[in-house]
Amino acid sequence: MLNHNHRDPVILELYQLYLDNQDSAQFIKSVARRYTCASLERLVFVGDRIARRAAVLALGFMGDFSSNAVVGQALVDRDRGVRTIAENGIRDLWRRVGSRDQRMSLGNIIRLNQTKQYDQAIRLASDLIQECPWIAEAWSQRGAAYFHLSQYDAAIRDCHQALEINPYHFTAAAGMGQCHLLQDNPVAALECFRHALRLNPGMEEVRVQVIQLQRTMKGE
């Protein structure tokens, strides 16, 4: 494994090639030959702007939940490009956790939610939570299913647990805010939305909700 500094020309060249041809498979293969996830994580903190973009992109493709904290911190990077890449990639890291069978179960839960089979999603998520309660995304997905069934208290509890396990889970924070809003609790909703924005300032829809809530609470 090669040693790289913060102005590493290799990662920059590979990233530029990816931007030119959009060949993610080749990008992953080339990066994996030269870098470990640990070396990519270091680049996120010490690299220049383009190197940070490249490293976060690579972690989104190659990393798993162990890289969550690094990519989570990249959500508030001073460079907008880094922030956008982090937001696009971090959800994949949330799903890459546990054994192969557990990841498959999580994928099935996500698909059930996507196809609006919420009762089945809750049942399967409950089984996965019973087996491995440390998988934050299982709690989040069950919370999402409860939300769509208008079971807001249950959704809030599950989203809160997802945040306890994964403090970078901005969608869980935003989901709690939506639940509180539908329960006519604007103060709690505003707190949750602000929390989501602290984690991920790029959530423009949440930012709009914060502005609207602030105006409503001020009587404008």
Q: Would you say the C-alpha torsion 190, 196, 202, 204 has a positive or negative sign? A: negative
Q: Where does the chain show beta strands of DSSP type E? A: none
| CB neighbours of residue 12 within 10 Å | 16
d(CA 82, CA 105): 31
Contact 129, 135 (CB under 8 A): yes
pTM greater than 0.85 (yes/no)? yes
Domains and CATH numbers, the chain: 9-95 (1.25.10), 100-217 (1.25.40.10)
Quick: pLDDT tens for 158-176.
999 999 999 999 999 999 9
d(CA 49, CA 28): 20
| CB neighbours of residue 33 within 10 Å | 10
d(CA 58, CA 89): 9
In terms of C-beta density within 10 A (0-12 exposed, 13-18 middle, 19 or more buried), how is residue 207 classed?
middle
Structure tokens at 116: 């609006």
Contact 106, 65 (CB under 8 A): no
d(CA 53, CA 85): 7
What residue type is 115 in one-letter code? T
d(CA 166, CA 137): 9
Q: Which of helix, strand or coil describes residue 181?
A: helix
d(CA 169, CA 142): 14
Question: Within the chain, which residues score under 50 in pLDDT?
Answer: 1-6
Who's near 89: CB < 8 A, 6+ residues apart? Answer: 56, 57, 59, 60, 61, 71
Q: Which of helix, strand or coil describes residue 8?
A: coil
